[in-house]
Amino acid sequence: MARVEIALPETFLFRTEIPVRIGDVNYGGHLGNDAVLSIVHEARVRFLAAHGFGELDVAGAGIIMVDAALVYRAEGRYGMTLAVEIAADDVRTRGCDLLYRLSDAATGQEIARVKTGIVFFDYKARRVVTMPAAFREVVGAPAHRA
């Protein structure tokens, strides 16, 4: 099977710092994959909040993560503070990919890359909906693309 590759853009929309906690470290002594997804979840919540949104209310729509991919570049360790950067890619009518770069905030060494696919969702009607214009504006996307 081919290795997963996640290409990153030159610029990112958002940056935050998140410390690696003891519970984020697996039996091998390094950052676990489940913890990486938890860390990018925290970063995504901070990104949305910075624009006045929440995961259940992005200008009237919620979001659902429909897929995820993770590629390690180096070991993350307990006590390290991670710089987490977020960008958007493959913006479509009802969703997009969010790309994350996790780096050691002290040294700049890249630790991991993550991609999460999100779609916009009406939790009351239980259906996928069109991406809100306000979010499309945040990610700098042009008008709808199929």
In tens, the pLDDT along 87-104 reads 999 999 999 999 999 999
Give SS3 for 137: helix
At residue 140, the pLDDT reads 87
Predicted model pTM: 0.94
In a domain, 7, yes or no: no
5 touches 71 (CB < 8 A): yes
At residue 146, the pLDDT reads 47
In a domain, 1, yes or no: no
At residue 144, the pLDDT reads 54
For range 28-34, the mean pLDDT: 94
CA neighbor of 38 nearest in space, from 4, 73, 7, 70:
70
CA neighbor of 100 nearest in space, from 5, 6, 4, 3:
6
Token pair for 146? 């199929």
Is the pLDDT confidence value at 145 over 70?
no
**Domain at 72, CATH number:** 3.10.129.10
Supply the Cα-derived Rg of the chain in whole angstroms: 16
- Length of the chain equals 146
| Count of domains observed in the chain | 1
